[in-house]
Chain A
Amino acid sequence: MGDRPIKVLIAKPGLDGHDRGAKVLARGLRDEGFEVVYTGLRQTPEMVVTAALQEDVDVVGLSILSGAHMTLVPRVCALLREKGLGDVLVAAGGIIPDDDVPALREAGVAAVFGPGTTIGDVAAFIRANVRALD
């Protein structure tokens, strides 16, 4: 049944003041043919994981500008595994220094997208790495 659209959650954990970038990404991925669940600002890791579980998304994209990624992202990854969602592809973006990338990958993030990334890059990465669609 691999012909259904890929379902992606775009979430903004933490206390970021705006979600312009996340909305641009959500719209861009929609235009690439993805079904994008958007949950808005100020999500706790628990809220993100509840949404991922109830929506049965294939991908969780975390957008963080506040600098709190080193606590929030590993927490989301750990909770996903705890809830049996270890097969969900996790990607992060926003403002994340290169030095932090290895630790985030270690925590379970498949990709960290920097400021220069295009929507096309993100879409291609997701298509190449998403779990088998059943």
Chain B
Amino acid sequence: MKKEQRKKLPRRDFLKNVLRSCAGLMLPGFLFAKEAGKKAAALLLDGLYNPAEHSWGMGIDINKCIGCGRCADACKKENNVPNVPFFFRTWVERYRVFENGETLIDSPNGAVNGFENLTDERTIIRSFFVPKLCNHCNNPPCVQVCPVGATFQTVDGVVLVDAEYCIGCRYCIQACPYGARFLHPETRTAEKCTFCYHRVVRGKLPACVEVCPTQARIFGELKKKASPLVRFMRMNKIRVLKPALNTEPRVYYSNLDMEVR
């Protein structure tokens, strides 16, 4: 697999790279990284989509989630995530809190195939499902640490990875407090949820939101009054994950239990 990747780099490109590195040593192009984000967004839809007009976020209603795992399954298919139990852009966790306070958490294969029935003998006092994904943090540590600026935040608040730039150092994976990132085994670059950016810019919903049978996931604008997300946030008490880390997530949970991290 690795070999294929290597072969794809023709010698001319390699020489170009070497030349560029030498040039880079002399004249570090501090400008490029900052430009990259804007460029990616601008190129995206030839002006049909204006990121400056949007500000995306997601709400998740824990009480509505039934743990069917269709979102996790749809995500893998939509985004060509390797169908093995090690790489996920989104997954669902199941929590069982027992009488004695002990908590069991599991997420077999990220819940792509849902969950098996409970066979616990002990009395469960609370049980619920928590869908997880990249929080598209407003203050994203993954963006901060990326040495080459491959991970960036778009104007509309989505955090993306430019696979062309990514050198696969995996610093971002270490820096993400939520385990939202993985290294794609084939491209050897960092990957994670994009809010299905390719769909969103065409006016569609992310795949996970579209397939959710109970509408536990609410996707939408954070700054437009008519948006379902704004309504969700007005009608519910909201929490985000690990607020103490000041990552300012854009994924908002209602009815989140204290056991969830």
Chains A and B are bound partners: no
Residues of A within 8 A of B (CB): none
By a beta-carbon cutoff of 8 Å, the part of chain B in contact with chain A is none
